[in-house]
Structure 1
Amino acid sequence: MFRSSNIVSRIFERQIRTPAPGTSTIHILQIRDSGNLVDVRAIGAFCREDDELFLNSHAQCMVFVDKSKQHDLSANQVENGLQSHQNMPGTPFLSGIKQRLLSFIFRGIWNEETDHTMRVQCLKKKFYFHFQDYVDLSMSKVQFLDRHHLLIKFGSVDGGVSRNTDHHPAFFAVYNMETTEVIAFYQNSADELYFLFEQFCDHFHATSRNLLYMNFISSHSNNIHALEQLRGIKNKSSSFSQFVKKMLTSLPFSCQSQSPSPYFDQCLFRFDEKLISAADRHRQSTDHPIKFISRKHPNSLKFKIKPGPEAGGLDGRTKKISSFLFHPFLPLALSIQQTFLQPSVVNIHFRR
């Protein structure tokens, strides 16, 4: 996983998916045996390799047909064709992937009704009324589902920096790179998407086939203990809709967001997930060691991990956060504890 300026590249086998900063374009790169990166394709303004060539070949005709804008075009813009025309303010052209998304939404609503009158009313209410909202959606995260499919998260520009999901809803689209079609579209409160996530969580983790240990990450779709924990959280939730939104916030998954370490196998160990888990994120830290209890022998303490200074913090009231990095299969882990206005404390943990 490569991180630069908050841009995360996601790897599937030998392909890298990376979003272009400030644009709605997905770049697919290939890693060669030499280590060089080759730009395979870009998905955004154009979806097929010959889309740009086809549209540019018709750009001259399109420019001359538009009489109202003809006097605003310089000779250089006419020579550059559609690309210059597309950058003009108020242009009617949408990106290729946005057109495919709108087409999928339109056809889905169209097929909901068979009666013509009801169909028109349904389109007015569900499509045309929200048309500009769909147009304004931007891609925020993308991940590989497999070699041919991408899971794309769409949201408003304001929603990208807001924690309020009610005013800024997000959407998920499944995109086929080979056919350049959107094959599924969900809002972040969709029950159907949540049930797919609950039952087939492992399919949302596109791991490399060359690393066998990556196939043994515990999830609620392959581990009964994780499933019971998820159902407990669901039963305690006051609103199922809010619970669904909270669970789907993690989608699409970032590359290496789950640790494959056997110490996080919930069939082997039980631990406090408020303090530590396989998910790669910062968590609240305490001065007490984190205990790993055997599942086979419930009262048997197997080992403990204590982040931070060995003697503990001087001020127990100071808020501390910790993150952990476990080796995929060796009994080795790093803990990083951060405290406000104090240097970070890094510990190396090795189980003998």
Structure 2
Amino acid sequence: VAEGKTFLSGVKQRLLSYIFRKHWSEEADQIVRIQYLKRKFYFHFQDYIDLIMWKVSRSTDQHTSFFAVYNMETTEIITFYQNSTEELYDLFEQLYDHFHAASRNSLHANFISSHSNNIYAFEQLCTIKNNAGSLSQFVKKMATSLPYTCQSQSPSPYFDLSLFRYDEKLISATDRLRHSTEHPIKFISRRQPHILKFKIKPGPETSGSDARSKRVSSFLFHPYLPLAISIQQTSFMQPTVVNIHFRR
């Protein structure tokens, strides 16, 4: 090893080997193959060396992400995608449920709506896709959510898009902070359009908070009981508001 250099990790060596063999097999003519390898592999060799692991994806300083499917038992790289590849998006669209680690033995996981198992979620995805200015940028945006972390989605039936409609900008099955408003979040019946089933107000009951304060909320729903906890945080050192919501 040259001075100042280090050995590559086993995973990265596997990755480089996979990329090389993939490009090698794409051209049959020896002369064309060498030129193809120079352009596709050796030209980007240092970029591949500089890749760092972020979850299961790998990113560079140019904000280009790559996704590798790695078999931990055989230590093989199964496949390799760039985050703007349409083939990756096709897998994301058709096999969405395989991208998050949900227990196959849990009955509650059946309520997690996705565009792979719910027609309403699929229609929402198609609307976002059709309104996107660039397909490549849309694919990159979708890829930023991969891979899903464990317990990042709530199995509560209240998030089942076959049962309820709600504003996903304010609340959804995905566990993350969201902008909070003074108005309650409404859950509308899917089977009885325009019928309000219930609503959740994450902030204080009184409207005495400073309107200039930036408020964000997070929610924790019980897997099957009609029980939820909302946590609202504000700026300007104001106290956190924790509410327990129970549907009677």
| Shorter-normalised TM range | over 0.9
Deviations 1:236-285 (A, max 9, x none): 11011110000010111000111000000000000000100001011110
Distance 1:346 1:101 in 2: 46
Work out whether residues 112 and 160 of structure 2, in 8 Å CA contact, stay in contact via their aligned partners in 1.
Answer: yes
**What does residue 136 of structure 1 align with?**
50
Partner SS for 1:99: helix
Q: 1:317 aligned to 208, 212, 229, which one?
A: 212
Cα-to-partner distance string for 1:121-173 (whole Å, 9 max, x where unaligned): 110011001101101111110xxxxxxxxxx21113x4xxxxxxxx3201000
**Unpaired runs of at least 5, structure 2:** none
> Is residue 216 from structure 1 mapped to residue 216 from structure 2 by the alignment?
no
Q: Percent identity?
A: 70
Instruction: Measure, in 1, the Cα distance between the counterparts of 2:141 and 2:208.
Output: 33
> Equivalences for 1:5-24 in 2 at 5 Å?
none
For 2:141, what is the secondary structure of its paired residue?
helix
User: Alpha-carbon deviation of 1:209?
Assistant: 2.7
Matched, 1:94 2:14: no
Give the unaligned 5+ runs of structure 1: 1-65, 70-87, 142-151, 159-166
Partner SS state of residue 240, structure 2: strand
Deviation for aligned residue 1:210: 3.1
SS at match of 1:258: coil
C-alpha separation in 1, matches of 2:31 and 2:70? 31
Match of 1:155 in 2: 59
Instruction: Trace 1:21-100 onto structure 2 (pairs within 5 A).
Output: 89-91=4-6, 93-100=7-14
Matching residue of 1:293: 188
Are the counterparts in 1 of residues 96 and 114 from structure 2 also a CA contact under 8 Å?
A: yes
Give the whole-Å Cα distance in 2 for the aligned partners of 1:247 and 1:198: 10
Q: Which residue of 2 aligns with 1:308?
A: 203
Once residues 224 and 344 of structure 1 are traced to their aligned partners in structure 2, the CA distance between those partners, rounded to angstroms, is 37
Residue 18 of structure 2 corresponds to residue 122 of structure 1: no
CA distance in 2, matches of 1:349, 1:177: 43
Distance 1:290 1:90 in 2: 56
Aligned residue runs from structure 1 range 144-183, under 5 A:
152-156=56-60, 158=61, 167-183=62-78
Displacement after TM superposition at 1:312 (Å): 2.2
Q: CA RMSD in A?
A: 1.3
TM-score under structure 2 length normalisation = 0.96
The one-letter amino acid of 2:240's match is: S
1:20 match: none
Report the Cα distance in structure 2 between the residues aligned to 1:279 and 1:95, rounded to whole angstroms: 34
For 2:76 and 2:209, the matched residues in 1 are separated by 58
1:343 aligns with 2:247: no
CA distance in 1, matches of 2:168, 2:162: 14
> Which structure is larger by alpha-carbon Rg, 1 or 2?
1
Compared with structure 1, are the counterparts of its residues 196 and 313 closer, same or farther at alpha carbon in structure 2 (3 Å cutoff)? farther
Contact 2:227 2:246 in 1 (8 A): yes
Native 8 Å contact 1:207 1:215 kept in 2:
no
Among candidates 62, 69, 83, match of residue 188 of structure 1:
83
Match of 1:329? 224
Distance 2:138 2:208 in 1: 35
Hey, what does 2:155 align to over in structure 1?
Answer: 260
How many pairs align? 247
Quote how far apart the aligned CAs of 1:314 are.
2.8
Contact 1:287/1:316 (<8 A) preserved: no
- The CA deviation at 1:319 is 1.6
What letter corresponds to residue 153 of structure 1 in structure 2? S
Asked if residue 272 in structure 1 is aligned to residue 176 in structure 2, the reply is no
- 1:154 corresponds to which letter in structure 2? R
Distance (whole Å) between structure 1 residues aligned to residue 163 and residue 222 of structure 2: 17
- The Cα of 1:313 is off from its aligned counterpart by 4.1
Higher relative contact order (CA 8 A, sep 6+): 2
CA distance in 1, matches of 2:158, 2:91: 27
Query: Which secondary structure state, in structure 2, belongs to the residue aligned with residue 343 of structure 1?
Result: coil
Q: Is the 8 A contact 1:283 1:321 kept in 2?
A: yes
Q: Distance in 1 between matches of 2:36 and 2:107?
A: 49
C-alpha separation between the residues in 2 aligned to 1:214 and 1:254? 15
CA distance in 2, matches of 1:186, 1:178: 21
